[in-house]
Structure 1
Amino acid sequence: MTDQIKNRQFSFGKKDAAVKVEVFLNLTCPYCATFYGVAEVVLKDYLENGQVEFIVKHYDKPREMLLNGTLVNLFLDYENPSRVKEILRDLFETQGQWDQLNNQEIKNLLVQKYQLKEEPKNTEISLNVTTEAISRNVKMVPTVFINNKEFQYPTELSATELKTQIEEALAK
Protein backbone atom coordinates (compact mmCIF):
# COMPACT_ATOMS: atom_id res chain seq x y z
CA MET A 1 0.00 0.00 0.00
CA THR A 2 2.84 2.41 0.81
CA ASP A 3 4.10 2.51 -2.77
CA GLN A 4 0.63 3.34 -4.11
CA ILE A 5 0.30 6.59 -2.17
CA LYS A 6 0.97 9.60 -4.34
CA ASN A 7 1.62 13.20 -3.34
CA ARG A 8 2.60 12.46 0.24
CA GLN A 9 4.84 15.54 0.65
CA PHE A 10 2.65 16.59 3.59
CA SER A 11 2.16 13.51 5.73
CA PHE A 12 2.41 12.50 9.36
CA GLY A 13 2.96 9.17 11.03
CA LYS A 14 4.88 6.18 9.79
CA LYS A 15 4.93 5.54 6.07
CA ASP A 16 4.59 1.81 6.78
CA ALA A 17 1.54 2.27 9.05
CA ALA A 18 -1.27 -0.24 8.50
CA VAL A 19 -3.87 2.48 7.94
CA LYS A 20 -3.57 5.33 5.45
CA VAL A 21 -5.87 8.32 5.91
CA GLU A 22 -5.66 10.62 2.88
CA VAL A 23 -7.60 13.86 2.70
CA PHE A 24 -8.08 16.20 -0.23
CA LEU A 25 -8.83 19.62 1.25
CA ASN A 26 -8.66 23.34 0.62
CA LEU A 27 -7.83 26.02 3.18
CA THR A 28 -10.86 28.19 2.41
CA CYS A 29 -13.40 25.38 2.75
CA PRO A 30 -15.24 25.54 6.11
CA TYR A 31 -15.97 21.78 6.04
CA CYS A 32 -12.25 21.16 5.53
CA ALA A 33 -11.49 23.29 8.60
CA THR A 34 -13.93 21.23 10.64
CA PHE A 35 -12.58 17.92 9.34
CA TYR A 36 -8.96 18.94 9.93
CA GLY A 37 -9.76 19.83 13.56
CA VAL A 38 -11.57 16.50 14.05
CA ALA A 39 -8.74 14.56 12.40
CA GLU A 40 -6.09 16.18 14.59
CA VAL A 41 -7.94 14.99 17.71
CA VAL A 42 -9.05 11.55 16.49
CA LEU A 43 -5.76 10.61 14.81
CA LYS A 44 -3.38 11.85 17.53
CA ASP A 45 -2.92 8.53 19.38
CA TYR A 46 -2.92 6.46 16.19
CA LEU A 47 -0.14 8.63 14.76
CA GLU A 48 1.90 8.44 17.95
CA ASN A 49 1.49 4.64 18.06
CA GLY A 50 2.60 4.23 14.42
CA GLN A 51 -0.77 2.79 13.37
CA VAL A 52 -1.85 5.54 10.94
CA GLU A 53 -0.24 7.69 8.32
CA PHE A 54 -2.18 10.93 7.73
CA ILE A 55 -1.61 12.37 4.25
CA VAL A 56 -2.92 15.88 3.56
CA LYS A 57 -3.32 16.91 -0.08
CA HIS A 58 -4.21 20.53 -0.69
CA TYR A 59 -6.55 20.43 -3.67
CA ASP A 60 -6.46 23.66 -5.63
CA LYS A 61 -9.88 22.92 -7.03
CA PRO A 62 -10.90 25.51 -9.64
CA ARG A 63 -13.88 26.95 -7.80
CA GLU A 64 -14.24 30.63 -6.97
CA MET A 65 -14.76 30.20 -3.22
CA LEU A 66 -11.56 28.08 -3.01
CA LEU A 67 -9.20 30.38 -4.92
CA ASN A 68 -7.78 32.05 -1.80
CA GLY A 69 -6.81 28.61 -0.50
CA THR A 70 -4.98 28.01 -3.77
CA LEU A 71 -3.06 31.25 -3.27
CA VAL A 72 -2.08 30.25 0.28
CA ASN A 73 -0.98 26.82 -0.94
CA LEU A 74 1.61 28.46 -3.21
CA PHE A 75 3.39 29.76 -0.09
CA LEU A 76 3.51 26.60 2.04
CA ASP A 77 6.98 25.15 2.54
CA TYR A 78 6.39 21.40 2.26
CA GLU A 79 10.05 20.83 3.15
CA ASN A 80 9.05 21.77 6.72
CA PRO A 81 5.88 19.72 7.43
CA SER A 82 5.71 20.47 11.16
CA ARG A 83 5.68 24.22 10.39
CA VAL A 84 3.06 23.70 7.65
CA LYS A 85 0.95 21.77 10.16
CA GLU A 86 1.08 24.73 12.60
CA ILE A 87 0.21 27.20 9.84
CA LEU A 88 -2.68 25.05 8.56
CA ARG A 89 -4.11 24.77 12.07
CA ASP A 90 -3.88 28.54 12.55
CA LEU A 91 -5.30 29.36 9.11
CA PHE A 92 -8.21 26.96 9.61
CA GLU A 93 -8.91 28.47 13.05
CA THR A 94 -8.82 32.03 11.66
CA GLN A 95 -10.42 31.22 8.30
CA GLY A 96 -13.25 33.73 8.73
CA GLN A 97 -10.75 36.55 9.23
CA TRP A 98 -8.71 36.07 6.06
CA ASP A 99 -10.73 34.10 3.49
CA GLN A 100 -12.39 37.21 2.07
CA LEU A 101 -9.19 39.25 1.75
CA ASN A 102 -7.92 40.16 -1.70
CA ASN A 103 -4.84 38.52 -3.21
CA GLN A 104 -2.36 41.18 -2.09
CA GLU A 105 -3.76 41.24 1.46
CA ILE A 106 -3.40 37.44 1.69
CA LYS A 107 0.16 37.60 0.37
CA ASN A 108 0.98 40.28 2.95
CA LEU A 109 -0.55 38.15 5.72
CA LEU A 110 1.51 35.12 4.70
CA VAL A 111 4.75 37.12 4.52
CA GLN A 112 4.25 39.21 7.67
CA LYS A 113 2.51 36.79 10.04
CA TYR A 114 4.11 33.51 8.94
CA GLN A 115 7.36 34.70 7.26
CA LEU A 116 6.48 32.71 4.13
CA LYS A 117 7.53 33.29 0.56
CA GLU A 118 6.14 31.89 -2.66
CA GLU A 119 7.50 28.38 -3.24
CA PRO A 120 8.00 27.80 -7.01
CA LYS A 121 7.88 23.99 -6.66
CA ASN A 122 4.33 24.20 -5.26
CA THR A 123 2.87 24.79 -8.72
CA GLU A 124 4.05 21.34 -9.79
CA ILE A 125 2.83 19.82 -6.50
CA SER A 126 -0.57 21.45 -7.07
CA LEU A 127 -0.79 20.08 -10.61
CA ASN A 128 0.14 16.60 -9.38
CA VAL A 129 -2.51 16.69 -6.65
CA THR A 130 -5.10 17.94 -9.16
CA THR A 131 -4.19 15.14 -11.58
CA GLU A 132 -4.57 12.61 -8.77
CA ALA A 133 -7.89 14.13 -7.66
CA ILE A 134 -9.23 13.86 -11.21
CA SER A 135 -8.00 10.26 -11.60
CA ARG A 136 -9.63 9.32 -8.27
CA ASN A 137 -12.84 11.14 -9.18
CA VAL A 138 -12.64 13.58 -6.24
CA LYS A 139 -15.53 15.98 -6.77
CA MET A 140 -15.58 17.92 -3.50
CA VAL A 141 -13.45 18.88 -0.53
CA PRO A 142 -12.90 17.41 1.87
CA THR A 143 -12.80 13.94 0.41
CA VAL A 144 -11.20 11.37 2.68
CA PHE A 145 -9.80 7.96 1.80
CA ILE A 146 -9.14 5.39 4.52
CA ASN A 147 -7.13 2.60 2.94
CA ASN A 148 -8.68 3.66 -0.38
CA LYS A 149 -12.27 3.58 0.91
CA GLU A 150 -13.79 6.96 0.00
CA PHE A 151 -15.77 9.25 2.32
CA GLN A 152 -17.12 12.69 1.63
CA TYR A 153 -17.19 14.81 4.76
CA PRO A 154 -19.41 15.84 6.52
CA THR A 155 -22.24 13.60 5.31
CA GLU A 156 -20.37 10.30 5.52
CA LEU A 157 -17.65 10.71 8.15
CA SER A 158 -18.18 12.07 11.64
CA ALA A 159 -15.49 11.93 14.34
CA THR A 160 -17.06 8.74 15.66
CA GLU A 161 -17.19 7.21 12.19
CA LEU A 162 -13.57 8.19 11.51
CA LYS A 163 -12.50 6.38 14.67
CA THR A 164 -14.71 3.38 13.81
CA GLN A 165 -13.30 3.14 10.28
CA ILE A 166 -9.72 3.27 11.58
CA GLU A 167 -10.46 0.58 14.18
CA GLU A 168 -12.05 -1.62 11.51
CA ALA A 169 -9.06 -1.13 9.20
CA LEU A 170 -6.64 -1.97 12.02
CA ALA A 171 -8.59 -5.14 12.82
CA LYS A 172 -8.11 -6.48 9.26
Structure 2
Amino acid sequence: MANQIENTQLSFGQKDATVKIEVFLNLTCPYCATFYGVAEEVLKDYLDNGQVEFIVKHYDKPREMLLNGTLINLFLDYQNPSRTKEILKELFATQGQWDQLNNQDIKKLLAKQYQLKEEPQNTEISLNVTAEAIRRNVKMVPTVFINDKEYQYPTELSAEELKTTIEAELEKSVFTS
Protein backbone atom coordinates (compact mmCIF):
# COMPACT_ATOMS: atom_id res chain seq x y z
CA MET A 1 0.00 0.00 0.00
CA ALA A 2 1.76 3.09 -1.25
CA ASN A 3 -0.09 5.90 0.50
CA GLN A 4 0.42 6.80 4.11
CA ILE A 5 -2.99 6.65 5.79
CA GLU A 6 -3.99 9.90 7.46
CA ASN A 7 -6.10 10.51 10.55
CA THR A 8 -5.58 7.13 12.20
CA GLN A 9 -6.62 8.22 15.71
CA LEU A 10 -9.32 5.55 15.77
CA SER A 11 -7.40 2.63 14.31
CA PHE A 12 -8.08 -0.99 15.26
CA GLY A 13 -6.08 -4.08 14.38
CA GLN A 14 -2.46 -4.29 13.27
CA LYS A 15 -0.77 -1.25 11.70
CA ASP A 16 1.08 -3.59 9.29
CA ALA A 17 -2.04 -5.52 8.27
CA THR A 18 -2.35 -6.41 4.59
CA VAL A 19 -5.85 -4.98 4.27
CA LYS A 20 -6.61 -1.39 5.28
CA ILE A 21 -10.26 -0.47 5.68
CA GLU A 22 -11.01 3.20 6.18
CA VAL A 23 -14.53 4.44 6.78
CA PHE A 24 -15.76 8.02 6.79
CA LEU A 25 -18.88 8.04 8.92
CA ASN A 26 -21.05 10.20 11.15
CA LEU A 27 -22.78 9.03 14.32
CA THR A 28 -26.16 10.47 13.32
CA CYS A 29 -26.31 8.69 9.96
CA PRO A 30 -28.52 5.56 9.99
CA TYR A 31 -26.55 3.96 7.11
CA CYS A 32 -23.36 4.50 9.13
CA ALA A 33 -24.96 2.73 12.09
CA THR A 34 -25.81 -0.23 9.86
CA PHE A 35 -22.35 -0.33 8.29
CA TYR A 36 -20.67 -0.11 11.70
CA GLY A 37 -22.70 -3.11 12.88
CA VAL A 38 -21.74 -5.07 9.76
CA ALA A 39 -18.07 -4.11 10.17
CA GLU A 40 -18.07 -5.14 13.85
CA GLU A 41 -19.37 -8.56 12.87
CA VAL A 42 -17.39 -9.20 9.67
CA LEU A 43 -14.05 -7.74 10.78
CA LYS A 44 -13.70 -9.34 14.20
CA ASP A 45 -11.70 -12.42 13.12
CA TYR A 46 -9.60 -10.45 10.61
CA LEU A 47 -8.72 -7.91 13.31
CA ASP A 48 -7.92 -10.67 15.81
CA ASN A 49 -5.70 -12.41 13.23
CA GLY A 50 -3.82 -9.21 12.35
CA GLN A 51 -5.01 -9.30 8.72
CA VAL A 52 -7.02 -6.06 8.73
CA GLU A 53 -6.53 -2.58 10.09
CA PHE A 54 -9.88 -0.78 10.51
CA ILE A 55 -9.66 3.02 10.61
CA VAL A 56 -12.73 5.02 11.63
CA LYS A 57 -12.86 8.67 10.57
CA HIS A 58 -15.74 10.68 11.98
CA TYR A 59 -16.67 13.07 9.20
CA ASP A 60 -18.35 16.19 10.53
CA LYS A 61 -20.03 16.81 7.20
CA PRO A 62 -21.93 20.12 7.29
CA ARG A 63 -25.45 18.77 6.93
CA GLU A 64 -28.26 19.55 9.33
CA MET A 65 -29.17 15.90 9.82
CA LEU A 66 -25.56 15.13 10.89
CA LEU A 67 -25.01 17.98 13.35
CA ASN A 68 -25.65 15.92 16.49
CA GLY A 69 -22.95 13.48 15.35
CA THR A 70 -20.59 16.42 14.92
CA LEU A 71 -21.39 17.58 18.46
CA ILE A 72 -20.72 14.11 19.88
CA ASN A 73 -17.43 13.89 17.97
CA LEU A 74 -16.17 16.89 19.99
CA PHE A 75 -16.49 14.73 23.13
CA LEU A 76 -14.94 11.45 21.94
CA ASP A 77 -11.74 10.49 23.71
CA TYR A 78 -9.32 9.86 20.86
CA GLN A 79 -6.62 9.08 23.44
CA ASN A 80 -8.55 5.91 24.34
CA PRO A 81 -9.52 4.27 21.00
CA SER A 82 -10.75 0.94 22.42
CA ARG A 83 -13.19 2.66 24.79
CA THR A 84 -14.23 5.05 22.03
CA LYS A 85 -14.93 2.06 19.76
CA GLU A 86 -17.30 0.65 22.41
CA ILE A 87 -18.99 4.04 22.83
CA LEU A 88 -19.45 4.35 19.05
CA LYS A 89 -21.00 0.88 18.98
CA GLU A 90 -23.42 1.79 21.78
CA LEU A 91 -24.30 5.21 20.33
CA PHE A 92 -24.98 3.66 16.92
CA ALA A 93 -27.17 1.02 18.58
CA THR A 94 -29.17 3.67 20.47
CA GLN A 95 -29.16 6.28 17.68
CA GLY A 96 -32.96 6.53 17.59
CA GLN A 97 -33.03 7.51 21.26
CA TRP A 98 -30.68 10.50 21.04
CA ASP A 99 -30.51 11.70 17.44
CA GLN A 100 -33.33 14.23 17.93
CA LEU A 101 -32.09 15.59 21.28
CA ASN A 102 -30.96 19.19 21.56
CA ASN A 103 -27.32 20.17 22.19
CA GLN A 104 -27.65 20.51 25.96
CA ASP A 105 -29.35 17.13 26.36
CA ILE A 106 -26.69 15.43 24.23
CA LYS A 107 -23.93 16.99 26.35
CA LYS A 108 -25.70 15.78 29.52
CA LEU A 109 -26.07 12.27 28.07
CA LEU A 110 -22.37 12.11 27.16
CA ALA A 111 -21.29 13.37 30.59
CA LYS A 112 -23.66 11.19 32.59
CA GLN A 113 -23.60 7.94 30.63
CA TYR A 114 -20.01 7.95 29.34
CA GLN A 115 -18.19 10.46 31.59
CA LEU A 116 -17.10 12.34 28.47
CA LYS A 117 -16.15 15.99 28.39
CA GLU A 118 -15.37 18.24 25.46
CA GLU A 119 -11.90 17.47 24.11
CA PRO A 120 -10.21 20.63 22.77
CA GLN A 121 -7.97 18.75 20.28
CA ASN A 122 -11.00 17.18 18.57
CA THR A 123 -11.73 20.36 16.60
CA GLU A 124 -8.36 20.03 14.88
CA ILE A 125 -8.90 16.28 14.30
CA SER A 126 -12.30 17.11 12.76
CA LEU A 127 -10.82 19.75 10.47
CA ASN A 128 -8.09 17.31 9.35
CA VAL A 129 -10.63 14.58 8.58
CA THR A 130 -12.79 17.11 6.69
CA ALA A 131 -9.77 18.28 4.65
CA GLU A 132 -8.93 14.65 3.84
CA ALA A 133 -12.55 13.93 2.86
CA ILE A 134 -12.52 16.92 0.50
CA ARG A 135 -9.17 15.86 -1.02
CA ARG A 136 -10.43 12.31 -1.52
CA ASN A 137 -13.75 13.53 -2.89
CA VAL A 138 -15.84 11.84 -0.18
CA LYS A 139 -19.37 13.07 -0.88
CA MET A 140 -21.44 10.95 1.49
CA VAL A 141 -21.27 8.93 4.69
CA PRO A 142 -20.49 6.18 5.01
CA THR A 143 -17.78 6.02 2.39
CA VAL A 144 -15.50 3.01 2.75
CA PHE A 145 -12.03 2.54 1.29
CA ILE A 146 -10.55 -0.94 1.15
CA ASN A 147 -6.87 -0.64 0.23
CA ASP A 148 -7.70 2.70 -1.42
CA LYS A 149 -10.58 1.38 -3.54
CA GLU A 150 -13.72 3.36 -2.77
CA TYR A 151 -17.11 1.81 -1.97
CA GLN A 152 -20.40 3.58 -1.32
CA TYR A 153 -22.36 1.83 1.38
CA PRO A 154 -25.05 0.44 1.19
CA THR A 155 -25.23 0.24 -2.62
CA GLU A 156 -21.84 -1.38 -3.22
CA LEU A 157 -20.99 -3.21 -0.04
CA SER A 158 -23.08 -5.75 1.82
CA ALA A 159 -21.66 -7.88 4.64
CA GLU A 160 -20.97 -10.66 2.14
CA GLU A 161 -19.29 -8.27 -0.31
CA LEU A 162 -17.14 -6.85 2.49
CA LYS A 163 -15.95 -10.34 3.39
CA THR A 164 -15.37 -11.29 -0.26
CA THR A 165 -13.40 -8.08 -0.90
CA ILE A 166 -11.19 -8.66 2.16
CA GLU A 167 -10.54 -12.25 1.08
CA ALA A 168 -9.61 -11.10 -2.44
CA GLU A 169 -7.22 -8.47 -1.04
CA LEU A 170 -5.61 -11.03 1.29
CA GLU A 171 -5.19 -13.44 -1.62
CA LYS A 172 -3.62 -10.72 -3.79
CA SER A 173 -1.08 -10.01 -1.06
CA VAL A 174 -0.03 -13.66 -0.97
CA PHE A 175 0.98 -13.43 -4.63
CA THR A 176 2.73 -10.08 -4.33
CA SER A 177 4.74 -10.74 -1.20
Which category of TM-score, normalised to the shorter sequence, fits these structures? over 0.9
TM-score, normalised with respect to structure 1? 0.99
Task: Choose 2-11 or 58-67, whichever is displaced more.
Answer: 2-11
Specify the alignment match of 2:15 in structure 1: 15
Specify the alignment match of 2:77 in structure 1: 77
Structural RMSD (CA)? 0.8
SS in structure 1 at match of 2:151: strand
Specify the alignment match of 1:102 in structure 2: 102
Instruction: Write the letter of the residue equivalent to 2:126.
Output: S
Residues 103-118 of structure 1 mapped to structure 2, 5 A cutoff: 103-118=103-118
Distance 1:84 1:3 in 2: 26
Contact 1:2 1:15 in 2 (8 A): no
Q: Aligned residues: percent identity?
A: 82
Please list the CA deviations of residues 66-116 of structure 1 after superposition, one character each: whole Å capped at 9, or x if unmatched. Answer: 000000000000100111011101100000000000000000000011000
Contact 1:23 1:144 in 2 (8 A): yes
Distance 2:13 2:145 in 1: 16
**Cα offset for 1:159?**
0.2
Distance 1:65 1:3 in 2: 32
Residues 2 and 126 (structure 1), Cα distance of their counterparts in 2 relative to 1, 3 Å cut: farther
Distance 1:168 1:113 in 2: 41
Instruction: Write the letter of the residue equivalent to 1:151.
Output: Y
Instruction: Write the letter of the residue equivalent to 2:130.
Output: T
Specify the alignment match of 1:133 in structure 2: 133
Contact 1:11 1:54 in 2 (8 A): yes
Please list the CA deviations of residues 33-91 of structure 1 after superposition, one character each: whole Å capped at 9, or x if unmatched. Answer: 00000000000000000000000000000000000000000000010011101110110
**Cα offset for 1:16?**
0.4
Specify the alignment match of 1:46 in structure 2: 46
Distance 1:3 1:22 in 2: 13
Count of matched residue pairs:
172
SS in structure 1 at match of 2:130: helix
Structure 2: which 5+ runs fail to align?
Answer: 173-177
Contact 1:110 1:116 in 2 (8 A): yes
Distance 1:82 1:152 in 2: 26
Distance 1:64 1:112 in 2: 25
TM-score, normalised with respect to structure 2? 0.96
Specify the alignment match of 1:24 in structure 2: 24
**Cα offset for 1:4?**
1.0
Please list the CA deviations of residues 105-155 of structure 1 after superposition, one character each: whole Å capped at 9, or x if unmatched. Answer: 000000011000000000000000000000000000000000000000000
